[in-house]
Amino acid sequence: MNISKKAEYTAPSETLSISAKCKELKKQGLDVVNLSVGEPDVDTPQHIKEAAISAINKGFTKYTDASGILELKEAIANKLWEDNGLKYETQQIVVSSGAKHSIYNSLLALCNEQDEVLIPTPYWVSYSEMVKLAGGRPVVLPTNEDTLKLTPQDLERAISDKTKGIILNSPQNPAGIVYCEDELLALASVIKEKGLWVISDEVYERFVYDGRKHISIALFIPDQTIVINGTSKTYSMTGWRIGYTAGDVNVIKAVSRIQSQTTSNPCSISQYAALSAITGPQGCVEEMRLEFDKRRRFIVERLNSISKIACQMPEGAFYAFFSIKALSLNSEEFSNLLLEKANVAVVPGKAFGAEGFIRLSYATSLSNLEKAGDRIEAAIKIL
């Protein structure tokens, strides 16, 4: 049976497939350090689990409104106001099965066939595939060679009469870039003038370091921004699959219609867990951030102590993105070598549109990071 062209051209998610391979190797008894997938290593906080158990016991196990329960939308609206200074009514919010789902549904709601969607490099592996699946055409943008940030000049240069929008991610995966207020203002002014929409992926918002503050571009162009966020990273709830979208009421209505015909509501139990996460005590998040900060400083220093690789200090998220340009191997060859010969799983920069780089997640214990540093050093020495 022939599969569709769409299916044929969709690459598997490299972050998820490397992680699956790694789990398989671990099952076989190999001592693999998994730095591939980006997920906090701590358990979901107890009060969030209790809220889920209580939801089950109260019988909240049936369909909910396809766009999510009202209490959760109210909590999200409060959070967006208090944390981000963004004003949304509940009709401007839809809850989905993870932020990935939120982004995909937003793309389905916004893209006509062959509409161009701009994606600054390096980018998270799923953006380009999701744009293609939604019928659009991903256009990958070069960024500043040193900072890896998108400049307003590069943005302006890339805009054609087919450009519909841009996906912006700050704090960013994979390089940990955080756009500051002035940089966002400059990009917002181009986006405003050209009448584009922006999907602003803000899932790493709580993981910023060295006194930085996350700012949403929606503050400057609210009518053109679709804000994406979720509970996966912030509350270590990757498996619960809760993401949300906030923006223009017509886009949100469209996303809700699409969702009502495809997945229906996100898991009812997870919605109650997310409600507890967003409205409950936030100390667990700060604890995680402080721990990640320690690990960030450790791993970046360790990587920079190894000859022939270089790593800029990430400003946010929980990834180190280091250059292997001085090695004779490309990013795929080097990642394979690390997995097969050194038992360290990482993701090749190629998957993020950035050959010559490797991404590792430091959302794992310091002892794992120490082990990984030693193994990477030993692998490079014998090259």
- Measured CA to CA, the distance from residue 105 to residue 255 in angstroms comes to 6
Indicate whether 173 belongs to the interface with ligand GLU (CB under 6 A): yes
Indicate whether 11 belongs to the interface with ligand GLU (CB under 6 A): no
SS3 sequence of 237-279: CCCCCCEEEECCHHHHHHHHHHHHHCCCCCCHHHHHHHHHHHH
Indicate whether 17 belongs to the interface with ligand GLU (CB under 6 A): no
> Which residue is nearest to ligand GLU, using beta carbons?
38
- Measured CA to CA, the distance from residue 344 to residue 356 in angstroms comes to 18
Smaller CB separation from ligand GLU, 118 or 351? 351
Report the residue from 11, 12, 16, 193 that binds ligand GLU according to the rule CB under 6 A. 16
Smaller CB separation from ligand GLU, 103 or 155? 103
- Please count the helices (runs of H) and the strands (runs of E) in the chain: 13, 13
- Of 272-331, which residues contact ligand GLU (CB under 6 A)? none
Cβ 189 to ligand GLU, closest distance in Å?
Answer: 30
Asked if residues 116 and 160 have their Cβ atoms less than 8 Å apart, the reply is yes
Report CA 29 to chain centroid distance, whole Å. 30
Q: Which pairing describes strands 357-361 and 347-348: parallel, antiparallel, or unpaired?
A: antiparallel
Which residue in 99, 103, 108 sits closest to 134, CA to CA? Answer: 108
Indicate whether 10 belongs to the interface with ligand GLU (CB under 6 A): no
Piece in contact with ligand GLU (CB under 6 A), picked from 53-61, 124-132, 134-142, 162-170: 124-132
SS3 sequence of 29-70: CCCCEECCCCCCCCCCCHHHHHHHHHHHHCCCCCCCCCCCCH
Which residue in 266, 264, 12, 1 sits closest to 133, CA to CA? Answer: 12
Smaller CB separation from ligand GLU, 37 or 134? 37
Piece in contact with ligand GLU (CB under 6 A), picked from 64-72, 123-131, 256-264, 372-380: 123-131
Count of residues of this chain found to bind ligand GLU when the rule CB under 6 A is applied: 10
Indicate whether 15 belongs to the interface with ligand GLU (CB under 6 A): yes
Piece in contact with ligand GLU (CB under 6 A), picked from 10-18, 139-147, 161-169, 297-305: 10-18
Cβ 349 to ligand GLU, closest distance in Å?
Answer: 13
Indicate whether 40 belongs to the interface with ligand GLU (CB under 6 A): no
Report the residue from 32, 37, 76, 221 that binds ligand GLU according to the rule CB under 6 A. 37
For 88, the 3-state DSSP assignment is coil
Cβ 287 to ligand GLU, closest distance in Å?
Answer: 21
Indicate whether 364 belongs to the interface with ligand GLU (CB under 6 A): no
Smaller CB separation from ligand GLU, 37 or 155? 37
Smaller CB separation from ligand GLU, 95 or 130? 130
Indicate whether 200 belongs to the interface with ligand GLU (CB under 6 A): no
CA 98, 104, 108, 109: dihedral to nearest 10 degrees?
Answer: 50
Indicate whether 38 belongs to the interface with ligand GLU (CB under 6 A): yes
Smaller CB separation from ligand GLU, 125 or 178? 125
- Measured CA to CA, the distance from residue 300 to residue 302 in angstroms comes to 5
The residues, ordered by sequence, that sit 6+ positions from 306 with a Cβ below 8 Å of its Cβ are 373, 376, 377, 380
Residues interacting with ligand GLU, by CB under 6 A? 13, 15-16, 37-38, 100, 124-126, 173
